[in-house]
Structures are given as structure tokens and as C-alpha cells.
Structure 1
Amino acid sequence: MSPSLPLVTTAERRHRLGRRHRLAPSAHASTVAEAADAVVALHATDAATLFLSARARLAEGGPEAVEQALYEDVSLVRLLSMRRTLFAVSCELAPYVDSSTARGIAVKERRNLLKHLDEDGQGLDAGWLAGAEAAALDALDAQGPCTGSQLSAAVPALRQKITVGRGKKYEAETGVATRVIRLLAADGRIRRDRPRGSWTSSQFRWVHTEPWPAVPAAEAHAEIARRWLRAYGPATESDLKWWTGWTLTEVRKALALVGPDQVRLEDDTTALVSPGDTVPEPVPEPWAALLPGLDPSGMGWADRSFHLDPAHRPALFDYAGNIGPTVWWNGEIVGGWAQRADGEIVWRLLADRGRAAEGAVAAEAARLARWVGEARITPRFRTPLERELVA
């Protein structure tokens, strides 16, 4: 490694995280789309995560501001994309996410469903699937936003049952409605609309929409890589591969088009930043944040050692590697939090960072409680510390 490479310290990486991820109060975003763009995409598998991740980055506005962006302005949309996971991205970025990642997933989803239909032996094929999809879209046009159950009631084909794994130990009969709806969503022909219930609900209604405009794949990959480096750099090729779910070849081609600069880190390894992005980040004011499980700031790198003490990982991650609700102080994960059944926000520090940190975390917990109001949040992926806090 060349000693002439610019040095980016751990402290500098944490400064970048606070400002670029819009977590320091002076860097808070004014719109939900701006909050999402700051981290490229907001994790959306768990409905509450999307709202709580946006909340932590917004200067003002309650859950209704996020609902406005998702369902009225439609400035933010959910796409099955990176790592075959549901993310919410700004409409400006959506065509690039679609072309770089979601299109490939949609092709695999269709191939897998057609394989299951063929194996079932009922004569269901691509023609049958096309008819079922067309009927579902016609029903949405006629009835407006519908849940999956309502669509199944309106479209007889969606009530079809098939047997998966016939003759094998895992043989099971399943309905096709969920799979057809998932395929239509992956193709960009329908999108999730306002759910039944509150903002914590995942029982979405669906609306007919137009697919995103095509972007050349190389251009789309490069745009995602460029934005990701700006948000998460210094980072490595391996980090980008993990975050996107792309092949190593796709990652390397995208980075070649971006032309990142190399920097050295405190552990004498090298990492990548956006071209010219080697100037020290202004130091933000002291800040605390309570981030939800799966938040991008906790899941943005394969190697999180610059902001997470490895000794704290067992308490804060589930068995599959999903991060739970975390407490942050100045760019470092220092504890975890949870909401009890009575609505109380409880938290525990795993590292002592002094009275100022403890006071700031308490104030942030109170702000979170006011924002959440009467809603109750149970993470989809539960971690040892979260379970312990609510026990």
C-alpha cells in the first residue's frame, strides 16, 4: 500500500456517516425522497423500518409525511431489488435501480413460477400466466386499489392452487395469487399503495402502474455505484458486492465506469471513494440516533468494524445477520432499543460514552416516542437485546 494515498481515519468515516446519512441534526433532510437518496435506498421489508429510518433523517414531519411521499406524491416507491430485498427509492433513482437490479430479479421470478406451473402438471403455462396477469390488471383498473385477497376474489385464475415439490418431502399445495402479484410488482406493472390499517401494516393495496423507462444496464450499474460510493465510501469492492447482490464482474465493470479514488484506512488497508472525494468532512455537532432494525446505516457495508464493536454484534444481530434496533452516538453503534407493549421506548448502552451521550440518547428516545404515538412496533427480525428489553 502506498503511504502517499490519502488517509481516512475512523473518526472521519463517522463524520461522513453523520452528515451524509442525514443523521446529525444540522444535516437532516427536508423531504422523504431526500432522506432516501442520502443512503441510496431505505430498507422496506418491514413496513415500520421504512418509516422509522425516514424519521431519523427528517428535519420535521410525522408518519403522514412518509405516507404522503409513498401514496400521494409517489416521490418514493418500493422495489424488489438489492439482495432480492424490498427497498424504497426516490422516483428519480427508480429507473436505475430497476434496470441494474430489479429487472434481473423479475426474470428469475417469472422463470421460477413457470417452472412450478409446468411441474404441477395441470396444463398451466406461459399463456395461462399472461391471462391471469391481464385479468388482475383489468380488475385493478375497474375496482381501484385492491388487497391481494380482494384481487383473488375478483379474478378466478388467482384462486388456482398448485402443488410445489410434488413427490418430495417438502411437497405442499399453495395458491398462485401471491406469486402472480409478486411477479407483477417485480415487473413494475403494479405498485404497493396505502395498506389496510396503520403505517406499521404490511397488508398493502395494489394499484396498476406503468413500468419504469429502460436505462442501459451499464449506465444503471454505474449510477448506483456512484451514489453508493458517495454515501458509503470509504468502502471496498466486497462491500459494494454485498450491498447490491451483483456479481463480482458487474461490480468491477460499474466501478471501472465510475473511476473511484483509493484511500488508506487506519488498519493499513485500502478502500474506495468517489472521484476527488478525499477532502476531510466537516465535523458535525454531537448527535444521537435511534435507528430501526435493518436501517441502511447499519447494513450498508459487509465490514462494519469502523462503527460497530464486534463484541456487541451477538446482542444486536439475529441469527441470519439482520441488524436490530440500534442506538448511535457520533457515528458509532453504542447500544440497542425497543418498544414495550405499553408504548414505552426503552434502551441500553453497551458502551459508556459519558453523560453527554446518555442525555442525548434519552432526548432522542423521547422524540421517537412522541413521533410513534399510539403505534406499536415489533421488528420482523428480532435480536437478543431487543427481546430482552421488552421482556
Structure 2
Amino acid sequence: MLGRMGETRTIGTAERRARLGARHLLAGGARAGSAEEVAGALVALHGTDPASVFLSVGARLAGAVDPVADVERALYEDRSLVRMHGMRHTVFVFPVALTPAVQASTTRPAAVRERTALIKHLVAGSSFDAAWLAGTEGRVLDELAKRGEATGTELGEAVPELRSTYLYGPGTRQEGVQSMSSRVLRVLGMEGRIVRGRPQGSWTSSRFRWALGAPHPERAPAEARAELLRPWLAACGPATEADLKWWTGWKVTEVREALAAVGAVRVRLEPTEGTDGTAGTGGAGGTAGTAGTGFVLPDDLAPVPEGEPWAALLPTLDPTAMGWQGRDWYLAPELRPALYDRSGNIGPTVWWNGRIVGGWAQRPDGTVVHRLLTDVGAEAERAIGAEAERLTAWVGDVRVTPRFRAPLERELSAG
């Protein structure tokens, strides 16, 4: 039964921030030696904006490791990290060992809905049907088996059916002609039959080549949900039911079953002030005013002391900024308008000792600049400045423009 030990103690805001710094590899002594270590600690790297994967890893690597070379090695050579659809139908980068659990617990149900919707749209807006779709998919898979990797354009040249179009939403306000290629490749990708490979261009590009995916070992959905929850709760506990429901996209009943399966223990959370926000891709939700109930793993009740102060510059949609739905304990509500876009996506953030204190951007000349939105003192300003210099150095000649642009990032990048 959930919480069979009761709410054993209170975990305050200071301790939650200390846990965040250590477990998200942001505190100075906690930094990692490889991209795999970072992804393993964080469970998932947000991949909607390709550059965010590299920037998230780079913020957490020890100084001697080249973030770009290390991430590319892990993704495209060793394939120890995999880019795939996961929670909330969003693209993430996962450790390969975790992908069967992600597929069974979150991606497969979404893939079923995606295939059903595509067939419905084809029947309503074209002469194509499920049999046509299956034949087209078979030819795509055959082509990738021969080539190894191919771009969407190359696949369209080899499989003409991908260049077909259909009428989406006939007779509605959304009516319009859509390409077959993107929908077919999306379904195959969500089902794990194909995966995104090395992009065209630099590490900031979102134009990926495609390759055949490795078969996922079968997992029962409930077993897979517990398998995914365990490392997430180790990284993000204490967390609330609402946090977990938002992060995974699971039903409340599924969340509670998974919490019970891992023996999660209830704890009291210190109250924070805040306001409710809208939840887009960024999910800027937050609940104000009263103490709440969180959950930790049964072996994670020991107090975590505060460590040395630390600074970090994290990118758009970083896993730490995106780890919880309720964010008031590390993000003051009055800072949100400058740091979120209109859809609720969080932009580049400056952190000091477990809380967001400002934002940053890269200017056209490559310089990383930042602005503090709260007074943090001279020690913090020096540490944050050093992180900005470190980021400027390893990014080098590459220019990074976030896909989701928050007001402060736009202002800073313009000079």
C-alpha cells in the first residue's frame, strides 16, 4: 500500500535543492565523465531541440571532456544513447538499456493512437488505406536495410509513395494538403522500427538521417512503468503525484500503481509560494501556498546536506528545469514571464545553488551573455561568469538559436 510508512519526515526546500545539485550532476564535485553518465543520472535528455541535448550534457561534464564529440560518439557510434519518442509524445534521448521500458510504458500506447489517426486521415482524405500504408512502410524498411541510413528526401526518391499527399481535415477549418513522408516516418519512429541517426549539418541540425531500429524486448506495461519510475524518482525525488503524471503522461491510476510497485514512501514537502501556470511543452505548472506530499524511494530517506555552492547555465527545455510540474521551489513565479515562451516552454536559464536566478543567450559573434533577475551576491556572479566563459569556449564557432525562444533570450541575443 502506498505510503505504508506514513509521512516520515519533512524535506524542505534547501534539501530539495541540494538533492537537485548532486543528482543532476550540477554541483562542482558531481560532474560526469561521459554523456552516458549524464543521461543515466537524468533518465532522459529533452530532444525536441537537438542542440539542447549537447548543451545539457556540456553543462554537466568535467572540463577535460569535449561535449560535442562525446555525445556524437554515444549517439551515432556506440549507440549507447537513443533518440526516440517518449513521455508526452515528445522526443528524448535515453540510455539504450532504458528504451524497452520507455517503449512499453509510454511510447507504444501513443504509437497505436498515431497509427489509428493516420489511417483515419488517409481514408477520409485520399484513396489510400491501411494496406497501402503497410506496403509503403515495408518498402521504406527494405530501403533502409540496403542503405544503412538515409534522409527523408533520399527515402522519398527511392519510395515514391512517400512523396504522396493527402487532404487533412476535409470540410473543416483545418483542411489542408499534407505530406505523407513526415507522417509515415513518424509512425515508424514511434513504433521503434526506425530511429533517428546522424543529422545533416552540425550538431544543432534537426534534419536527421533514419536507420533501422533494434527490436525492443517485450515488457508488460505495468512492469515497464515501475522500471521507468525507479530511476526517475532516484533523480527527482521527492516528487508529487502531479509531477510524475505530468512528466510521464500516465493516468493517475497508473502513477499510483507504479509508486506502489517501487515501494515509494510518502514525505512532507515544505510549502512554497507560487501561482498556477499553463502547461505547454514546457509545462509551467505550479501549486502555491500549502505543504504537499511527495514520494521518495524506500532507501532514500536519509537527509542530504547542502554542499558547496554551484552555478550552471542550462539550455532550453533542460531536464532539470523540466523535471517537475510544480517548480516554485526552484523558480520564483515573478521570473517566469521573462523565461518562458507563449506556449509555456522554458528558455535558457542561469542557476545558482539550486534555483533559477536569470537567463542567458548567445550573440551573433558567439559570446555567451547572461542577465541576473535577482540579487545573488559577488561570489555567485563570479561563478556564473566563469560558467558563461566555459560555455563560450566549448561551443566555439557554432551559433545556437533555441527552437523555443523566451523573451529574455531574444533580448539578450540581439545585443
Residue 50 in structure 1 maps to residue 53 in structure 2: yes
Paired residues of 1:187 and 1:211 also in contact (CA < 8 A): no
Paired residues of 1:164 and 1:174 also in contact (CA < 8 A): yes
Deviation at 1:266, TM superposition (A): 2.1
Q: State the partner residue of 1:321.
A: 344
In structure 2, do the counterparts of structure 1 residues 341 and 219 end up closer, same or farther at CA, with 3 Å as the change threshold?
same
Which whole-Å CA distance do the structure 2 matches of 1:269 and 1:70 have between them? 39
Q: State the partner residue of 2:194.
A: 190
Q: Give the counterpart of 1:65 among 54, 62, 70.
A: 70
Deviation at 1:148, TM superposition (A): 0.5
Paired residues of 1:261 and 1:276 also in contact (CA < 8 A): no
Q: State the partner residue of 1:259.
A: 263
Paired residues of 1:99 and 1:216 also in contact (CA < 8 A): yes
In structure 2, do the counterparts of structure 1 residues 72 and 4 end up closer, same or farther at CA, with 3 Å as the change threshold?
closer
Trace 1:1-391 onto structure 2 (pairs within 5 A): 5-59=8-62, 60-122=65-127, 124-267=128-271, 268-391=291-414
Find the residue that maps to 2:199 and give its secondary structure.
coil
Instruction: Spell out, residue by residue over 1:28-67, the C-alpha distance to the aligned partner (whole angstroms, 9 max, x if none).
Output: 1222122012111000000000110111112222301100
Q: CA RMSD in A?
A: 1.5
Which whole-Å CA distance do the structure 2 matches of 1:269 and 1:206 have between them? 45
Deviation at 1:156, TM superposition (A): 1.1
**% identical aligned pairs:** 56
Find the residue that maps to 2:138 and give its secondary structure.
helix
What amino acid does structure 1 have at the position aligned with 2:301? T
What amino acid does structure 1 have at the position aligned with 2:348? P
What 5-or-longer segments of structure 1 have no aligned partner? none
In structure 2, do the counterparts of structure 1 residues 355 and 140 end up closer, same or farther at CA, with 3 Å as the change threshold?
same
Deviation at 1:272, TM superposition (A): 1.0
Instruction: Spell out, residue by residue over 1:201-238, the C-alpha distance to the aligned partner (whole angstroms, 9 max, x if none).
Output: 01100111222111111111011112111111111001
Which whole-Å CA distance do the structure 2 matches of 1:212 and 1:55 have between them? 29
Find the residue that maps to 2:120 and give its secondary structure.
helix
Which whole-Å CA distance do the structure 2 matches of 1:224 and 1:209 have between them? 20
Give structure 1 regions of 4+ aligned residues with deviation exceeding 6 angstroms: 1-4
Judge which range, 56-65 or 8-17, deviates more. Answer: 56-65
What amino acid does structure 1 have at the position aligned with 2:74? A
Aligned length: 390
Which whole-Å CA distance do the structure 1 matches of 2:131 and 2:187 have between them? 15
Q: State the partner residue of 2:275.
A: none
Instruction: Spell out, residue by residue over 1:287-329, the C-alpha distance to the aligned partner (whole angstroms, 9 max, x if none).
Output: 1000001001101111111111111011111111111000001
Which whole-Å CA distance do the structure 2 matches of 1:325 and 1:293 have between them? 5
Which whole-Å CA distance do the structure 2 matches of 1:270 and 1:170 have between them? 43
Paired residues of 1:26 and 1:284 also in contact (CA < 8 A): no
Find the residue that maps to 1:201 and give its secondary structure.
coil
Which whole-Å CA distance do the structure 1 matches of 2:317 and 2:126 have between them? 40
Instruction: Spell out, residue by residue over 1:174-222, the C-alpha distance to the aligned partner (whole angstroms, 9 max, x if none).
Output: 1101111111111111111111100000110011122211111111101
What amino acid does structure 2 have at the position aligned with 1:57? R
Paired residues of 1:290 and 1:364 also in contact (CA < 8 A): yes
